[in-house]
Structure 1
Amino acid sequence: MALISALAFGGSGVAAKPLIEAGLAPLHVTWLRVAGAALVLLPLAWRHRGLLRRRPALLVGYGLLAVGGVQACYFAAISRIPVGVALLIEYLAPALVLGWVRFVQKRPVTRAAAVGVVLAVAGLACVVEVWSGLSFDVIGLALALGAACCQVGYFVLSDHGGDGDDTPDPLGVIAYGLLTGAVVLTVIARPWTMDWQVLGGSAEMNGTPVPAALLLGWIVLIATVAAYLTGVVSIRLLSPQVAGVVACLEAVIATVLAWVLLGEHLSLPQIAGGVVVLVGAFIAQSAKPEDPAAGAPEAPASEARASEAGASDAALPGNGLPPTGEDPSPAVAGNGLSAGSCAP
């Protein structure tokens, strides 16, 4: 299930980019993805309708950050930079979460976690070829970093959402997150201004015409609905840590698919840098928080969960976008929530 989820999330950018190049705005593709998935998951939303009363802030935050924010930034990024590069930048999220834990929450992190952060940043420098003055579009890089920041906000929000004994069902959170994201994106994207005729034609995938409706169907049904559901199931059958490690394959899958289907070739230093980013992300999300000093009072349960969310279970999808994504199935300790890159 975890492998299926990683494969599904990893293919979202490859299917979305031809639609964007065919004439659809990135925000319109994001709206189509979120609104279509929300429509499919309406029965789940009805089943968990009690969440509207119990966890309204969590649902709104999930819709704005994990769904709308991550995927909109990711799709906008891949319209300017290669899919693999955008997704690898999103994998800075574990490092950013550790920064939040260390400097905002004032919680100690282990040396291994710090090493993971350094590796991730160093690998990212190779991916964007910093020695050549950033060989990629700066705005595209900033948008990809924005997707990573949205992932961080989701991790922090989900940790607070898991406080107490009344933990929300991840499936219900996903369904209402998509609904919330669809409503917000409708106002922002204004789909009535979209060129709907594009969906009736074809889009070119590295010179090969592919029906636009088929690409949209993949984005909605496979890269969103199936990706989220299999991600949640995998976490329940395995553990957030193990499922998160498997989710790291999403970046590899997305890069390989973009290479084969879109002709987006990465140089040897970029490939090596991508490996270092994934290794750093793995170390950062696997490192355990330091134990409180001997004799010190025990930290409150909410603080312990926050530290664990940042240092142990910040596993990226998605766009996320995963995520991904857009993207990306990131798991948060204490509540078992899962998000796509969402990336992607």
Structure 2
Amino acid sequence: MPVRTTESRKNGRAGAGRGVGLGLALVSALAFGGSGVAAKPLIEAGLDPLHVVWLRVAGAAVVMLPVAVRHRALPRRRPALLAGFGLLAVAGVQACYFAALSRIPVGVALLIEYLAPALVLGWVRFVQRRPVTRAAALGVVLAAGGLACVVEIWSGLSFDALGLLLALGAACCQVGYFVLSDQGADAGERAPDPLGVIAYGLLVGALVLTAVARPWQLDWSVLAGSARMNGTAVPALALLLWIVLVATVLAYVTGVLSVRRLSPQVAGVVACLEAVIATVLAWVLLGEHLSAPQVVGGAVVLVGAFIAQSAAPAEAPARPVAAGGPDRELSGHRTSA
């Protein structure tokens, strides 16, 4: 009968944790990917895109308010983390992306925003000077190339400088989402509670977006009526509830938990599936055509995400490992707070 060593048990727990993390990342991508399908009918019904973003973040902040009250000591302990998460991961991504859409095509803006996994990998390799595997880099390249096919970048490229900078700003803010979600992952009991970080991040994001979106100009009567989804009337309030509860609360919770179990660069590549999911859902629910290049690109994104998440850790010099800190995906030490 084989004997299970401490190392084999540790590897088994690490493998199980990575499997759970991958599942959470997929749920997060599915939830985030469904936001556009629900938001587009509301925008077509008469709501301003920034007002939809504000309703999304403010509604999620209200839902997570009991969690914020429970972790009311967190702002005193980690004010910089909460402020950064709210400004970058919540308000920054949304505001920059929607501002970019007003100047450049949707496909171009989406592709630039989802360069975030490559930027995360560059941050880890060149700023933090930590090793990454060739498989992880290959996964990022494949995912970015497949994403270019999914959004069909060649169909409407625009070189508006400000629009490209805004889309790049969204990508940088998304890097902040992955990196900040990883904060304190190896701190044990001292690690900030991820639900508390999300709750206060949504509160900060809602305050910032209030100044940007000016919700006092919102046409509230739209929410009392219905919106058309591929010719079918759907209650506007039901779409808003989906955006708040699923596409925001569930998406952020599962996304942050997945980064804690994987790594920023791996979770970032898996998040590219959001574009594939959004395209498929738009095809099924909104009747938008899915071309052959988009199908091929979606398959390439899937391959790239799989390669990245299954990559072995990069080789690092042998050194003693402190208690409570098993080696994590693609790198030795994690980002410190």
Band of TM-score, shorter chain: 0.7 to 0.9
Q: Return closer, same or farther for 1:64/1:88 CA change in 2, 3 Å cut-off.
A: same
Residue among 260, 263, 272 paired with 2:287? 263
Q: Does 1:240 align with 2:240?
A: no
Where 1:116 maps in the other structure, the secondary structure is helix
Percent identity for Structure 1 against Structure 2 = 72
Task: Describe the superposition over 1:91-138 as per-residue Cα deviations: whole angstroms up to 9, x where unpaired.
Answer: 4322221111222223332221222232233323433445x4x53566
Residue among 267, 290, 295 paired with 2:314? 290
Q: Return closer, same or farther for 1:136/1:267 CA change in 2, 3 Å cut-off.
A: farther
8 A Cα contact 1:24 1:198, kept in partner: yes
Q: Which residue of 2 aligns with 1:119?
A: 142
Q: Which residue of 2 aligns with 1:106?
A: 129
Q: Return closer, same or farther for 1:86/1:284 CA change in 2, 3 Å cut-off.
A: farther
Where 2:315 maps in the other structure, the secondary structure is coil
In structure 2, what is the Cα distance between the partners aligned to 1:146 and 1:288? 31
Q: Which residue of 2 aligns with 1:40?
A: 63
In structure 2, what is the Cα distance between the partners aligned to 1:246 and 1:95? 12
TM-fit CA distance, 1:197: 2.4
TM-fit CA distance, 1:54: 0.4
Where 1:58 maps in the other structure, the secondary structure is helix
Q: Which residue of 2 aligns with 1:24?
A: 47
Q: Does 1:276 align with 2:300?
A: yes
Q: Return closer, same or farther for 1:51/1:284 CA change in 2, 3 Å cut-off.
A: same
Q: Does 1:223 align with 2:247?
A: yes
In structure 2, what is the Cα distance between the partners aligned to 1:280 and 1:11? 21
Residue among 101, 114, 119 paired with 1:96? 119
Aligned ranges 1:1-344 → 2 under 5 Å: 2=24, 5-75=28-98, 90-129=113-152, 132=154, 134-135=155-156, 145-162=168-185, 164-165=187-188, 166-229=190-253, 239-240=261-262, 244=267, 250-293=274-317, 311=330
Q: Return closer, same or farther for 1:262/1:146 CA change in 2, 3 Å cut-off.
A: farther
TM-fit CA distance, 1:262: 1.7
Task: Describe the superposition over 1:209-254 as per-residue Cα deviations: whole angstroms up to 9, x where unpaired.
Answer: 3222221111112222233445567788xx437x958766544432
8 A Cα contact 2:194 2:257, kept in partner: no
Q: Return closer, same or farther for 1:50/1:233 CA change in 2, 3 Å cut-off.
A: same
How high is the TM-score relative to the length of structure 1?
Answer: 0.73
Where 1:210 maps in the other structure, the secondary structure is strand
Task: Describe the superposition over 1:132-180 as per-residue Cα deviations: whole angstroms up to 9, x where unpaired.
Answer: 4x53566677655543321212233344554745210001111111111
Determine which structure has more spread, i.e. the larger CA radius of gyration.
2
In structure 2, what is the Cα distance between the partners aligned to 1:300 and 1:76? 45
Q: Return closer, same or farther for 1:300/1:69 CA change in 2, 3 Å cut-off.
A: farther
Q: How many positions carry a matched residue from both structures?
A: 305
8 A Cα contact 2:280 2:290, kept in partner: no
In structure 1, what is the Cα distance between the partners aligned to 2:224 and 2:234? 11
How high is the TM-score relative to the length of structure 2?
Answer: 0.74
Counterpart AA for 2:126: F
In structure 2, what is the Cα distance between the partners aligned to 1:75 and 1:9? 15
In structure 1, what is the Cα distance between the partners aligned to 2:110 and 2:235? 25
Which structure 2 residue ranges, 5 or more long, are not aligned? 1-22
Which structure 1 residue ranges, 5 or more long, are not aligned? 314-331, 336-344
